[in-house]
Structure 1
Amino acid sequence: MAQQHEEKDVTFATLPAILCLHGYGTNAAIFRCQLRQITQTLSRTFRFVFVEGPFHVQQPGPGALPAFADARPFRRWHSHKTLAGAFGVSTQNVEEERRQVRDLLKDTLEREREHGPGVVGVAAFSQGAGVAASLCLDSELGTDIKFAVIICALYPAVSLAEHEDGTAASKSTMRLIEIPSIHIQGMSDSWKGQGTKVLREYFNGAKAKIFNLVGVGHEVPSRVKEAAIVADEVMAVWKSILAGGQE
């Protein structure tokens, strides 16, 4: 069963939370390590809740090698229906996996809301960024999300919502994400074009801040200077939100 991992040095009631969604072929513990330069800087303002993707994969994913080659079990989120074959998943199983991920995120958000200030933001990498985009668009689950940090997103976003017939909602039924968003893209990322497409198709560009990092591939920014850029922008967005301003 998938688990959630919270920072242990503060109580539920103290700080608002950022939901953290890892990439394909990693896990919550790996993502915590990948984000540590950013989370350490922001630890007096936010708690970070790392959610574990519920499905196992055999091989480590992009950005995991070589540092995390032995950090099993590797996990993933549900796949988009157009990519089901690549994941070895049937169309029927795509729907079942989507429901499992939605239930997992719903339970996490409700637990945070019951015991403290709740989740106010989402930070996600690679495949997790596609889940984050759908979370922000979800009319039930995304209502408390005030900002998003999207790192090296993969296209397309994977739907969490469903139609009345129980099937996943299509992109044509989605609106743009209107909350402030921070988009981190590596200039050496082979999938950079996908991250750009996610930004253009799912987010309101007028409320988006884009950082193209030189010398960075498909990876979470971990060097001190890069992490500081991200952390500073998160704080700027959060201060604007608290002040009632618009990014």
Structure 2
Amino acid sequence: MTENQTHEKPRILCLHGFRTSAKILETQIHKWPESVLEKLDLVYLDAPYPSTGQSGVEGIFDPPYFEWFQANQDFTEYENFEECIALIEDFMVKNGPFDGLLGFSQGAMLAATLPGMQAEGLVLTKVPKIKFLILIAGAKLGGSTYGAPPLAANAFSSPVKCPSLHVIGENDFLKPESIAQLDLFVDPIVLHHPKGHTIPRLDDQSLGIVNNFIEKIQSLATT
């Protein structure tokens, strides 16, 4: 198989949720059928910081658990935001190139900020442009609930132009924030599901949405 043929499969860096892990996200994503997963080259990364408190998945998934960054109680001050992006960039340099990002929960909040900051020349300056995002149970940093870390202050000053798939649960506590996040993107594709703050299994309708999005990003991965 030639290098070009290999790269027809979009290579995606996957960022897990708050106080979970790369292994947990991989387990969650494998609820999706093999017919979807075989079309994607998914790479999972642990966040750099061990959990500083109780994980919401204790008793469901085994530790260890990690965090991308930390915030104070009212989400107006952040710690380790710049540092975690530096770690992500270092991983992308050493293990890339990557075409796009997939994020769940805190990972989705983080992933959503990266194209705008990259366009400003603030982050990910050593790696290719992010071509697409898959955001599951995400929220806007700089929105009504979560303030923006200084580095991300202008991440959404212009609408994010790269293709984006937004997976939103009807019973997710972050649903209002996930809906608000849609306004940040030029042409968001939305997949609604009846569950809560989770990665859902795909019914026939959801499967169609995901497959259509994969077709769209496959063409980007070869360019």
Q: Please state which band the TM-score falls in when normalised by the shorter chain.
A: 0.7 to 0.9
Q: 1:99 and 1:136, CA in 2 relative to 1: closer, same or farther beyond 3 A?
A: same
Q: 1:104 and 1:40, CA in 2 relative to 1: closer, same or farther beyond 3 A?
A: farther
Q: Are the equivalent residues in 2 in contact too, given 1:19–1:48 (CA < 8 A)?
A: yes
Distance 2:212 2:25 in 1: 20
For structure 1, the 5+ residue unaligned runs are 1-10, 162-166
TM-score using structure 1 length:
0.71
Tell me which of 78, 99, 117 is aligned to 1:120. Answer: 99
TM-score using structure 2 length:
0.78
Tell me which of 168, 187, 211 is aligned to 2:191. Answer: 211
Identity %: 24
Matching of residue 196 in structure 1 with residue 179 in structure 2: yes
Aligned to 2:157: 174
1:203 positional shift: 1.7
1:225 positional shift: 4.7
Q: 1:24 and 1:146, CA in 2 relative to 1: closer, same or farther beyond 3 A?
A: same
139-148 or 224-233, which moves further after superposition?
A: 224-233
Distance 2:86 2:55 in 1: 25
Q: Are the equivalent residues in 1 in contact too, given 2:47–2:68 (CA < 8 A)?
A: yes
**DSSP-derived class of the 2:160 partner:** coil
Aligned to 1:14: 6
- 1:87-126 matched pairs, under 5 angstroms: 94=79, 97-113=80-96, 118-126=97-105
Aligned to 1:60: 55
Q: Are the equivalent residues in 2 in contact too, given 1:151–1:185 (CA < 8 A)?
A: yes
Name the one with the larger helix percent. 1
Q: Are the equivalent residues in 2 in contact too, given 1:159–1:169 (CA < 8 A)?
A: no
1:227 positional shift: 6.6
Distance 2:208 2:153 in 1: 34
For structure 2, the 5+ residue unaligned runs are none
Amino acid at match of 1:74: Y
Aligned to 1:137: 116
